[in-house]
Structure 1
Amino acid sequence: MVEWFDDLKVGMRFTSGKATVSKEDIIRFASEYDPQPFHLDEEAAKSSIFQGLAASGWQTAAIAMRLATECRPFGPHPLLGAGVDDLRWLNPVRPGDTLHLEGEVTELVPSRSKPQGIARVKWTAYNQHGEPVYTFNPIAIVPSRPK
């Protein structure tokens, strides 16, 4: 069980639960945060680059964040970040897609001056067909075990 930065090891893997995205979810999110025709209107989306309704990439990112949070890779500690690298949308997320997240610890850097470290986890979101739809590599700040 991971409780502190000191418990993490490069190569550790995490797998999240699942989240299914409905047409209504896509339209609701887009109408508030990303009001573009290929996220809002099935007919307009057919003639877009997506050739059909697709979730906003920012909705995919928000779903991935929820899945990462629920996965609790840092035990009881929140997912506190200093930034994100390598954020990529690889495939569109469609109505009815079920996403899950897989992560691997790729780097651990203890702080020399604070009781914490930087943990890098490469996360990939996959749809129900095993196709990657989104990747991101956050710069996470994780507390060290109290001395």
Structure 2
Amino acid sequence: MRYLEDFSEGQIFELGEETIREQEILDFARRFDAQPFHVDPEAARRSIYGGLIASGWHTASFFMGLLVRGLLHDVASMGAGGIDEMRWQKPVRPGDTLRGRLTVLATRPSTKHADRGLLTVLGELFNQKDERVLMIRWSAMIARRT
């Protein structure tokens, strides 16, 4: 199990990669973000995107899946209070292979609670062309060794 003390500024974690499938894009969008360029391949072809693209929220969820499987399953995480910054930088298309990376920006023990601290991180998702499609920055509450 990793605790706050096990992280240091500049540390990089590669989170693995997975391919996003058209059916996954359609299923997610139909339930959560039913805009035409996410749910209708023909309408998407006529859009500024020239084809079907994943919802940005699907892209963020995809990153979270890589993060949990690639790192958080072994971290004493206590949750997060929100996101400081998030940008969808390139469209994600069916068949894209997406690779996740997490960079530690800072660690800070809590001044109020000796058993925890904040881990500030930059999350990134890259496609098979090594183009960054998502960046997300937030602070997570992580338990300290006690």
Task: Provide the rounded CA distance (Å) in 2 between the counterparts of 1:87 and 1:45.
Answer: 24
Task: Provide the rounded CA distance (Å) in 1 between the counterparts of 2:110 and 2:99.
Answer: 31
Task: Provide the rounded CA distance (Å) in 1 between the counterparts of 2:142 and 2:77.
Answer: 8
Q: 1:67 to 1:121 in 2, by over 3 A?
A: same
- The code of the aligned residue for 1:132 comes to R
Do residues 132 (structure 1) and 135 (structure 2) align?
Answer: no
Q: What is residue 56 of structure 1 aligned with on the other side?
A: 55
CA contact (8 A) 2:29 2:39 kept: yes
Deviation at 1:18, TM superposition (A): 1.2
Task: Provide the rounded CA distance (Å) in 2 between the counterparts of 1:85 and 1:64.
Answer: 16
- The code of the aligned residue for 1:56 comes to S
Identity %: 36
Give me the TM-score of the superposition, normalised by structure 2.
0.94
How far does the alpha carbon of each residue in 1:22-76 deviate from its partner, in whole angstroms, 9 at most, with x for none?
1111111111111111001111001212111000000000000011111215834
Task: Provide the rounded CA distance (Å) in 1 between the counterparts of 2:141 and 2:73.
Answer: 10
Give me the TM-score of the superposition, normalised by structure 1.
0.93
Q: What is residue 121 of structure 1 aligned with on the other side?
A: 121
CA contact (8 A) 1:85 1:138 kept: yes
Query: Unaligned 5+ residue runs, structure 1?
Result: none
Q: What is residue 23 of structure 2 aligned with on the other side?
A: 24
Alignment of 1:1-147 (within 5 A): 3-72=2-71, 75-78=74-77, 80-114=79-113, 115-146=115-146
How far does the alpha carbon of each residue in 1:6-28 deviate from its partner, in whole angstroms, 9 at most, with x for none?
11110110001112111111111
CA contact (8 A) 2:78 2:143 kept: no
The RMSD of aligned alpha carbons is 1.4
